[in-house]
Amino acid sequence: MIDMEPRDPFDFFLDHYQDQLVAGYTKSTPQYGLRAYFRDYSKLRSRASATKHRR
């Protein structure tokens, strides 16, 4: 898990893991690793609409 904006503290909320993951992006590494860049919870565009679109 990598903060997309490391200049501020990482704002992670486990109950909204999926919303934060979808708002970010992932990268595969040549060594078969996966880096997941997460958007801060407080910076999600619309928490209500993000949950609605998952269904």
- DSSP 8-state secondary structure symbol assigned to residue 20: H
More confident of the two residues 50 and 52: 52
Q: Which pLDDT score, from 0 to 100, does residue 45 have?
A: 80
Q: Is 39 helix (H, G, I), strand (E, B) or coil?
A: coil
- DSSP 8-state secondary structure symbol assigned to residue 38: E
| Whole-number Å distance between alpha carbons of 31 and 39 | 24
Give mean pLDDT, residues 5-19.
Answer: 94
Is the model's pLDDT at 13 over the cut of 90? yes
Using pLDDT thresholds of 50, 70 and 90, give the confidence band for residue 49. Answer: low
Express as a percent the part of the chain with pLDDT over 70: 82
CA atoms within a 13 Å half-sphere pointing along the CA-CB vector of 22: 14
Q: What's the farthest any 2 CA atoms get from each other in the chain?
A: 37
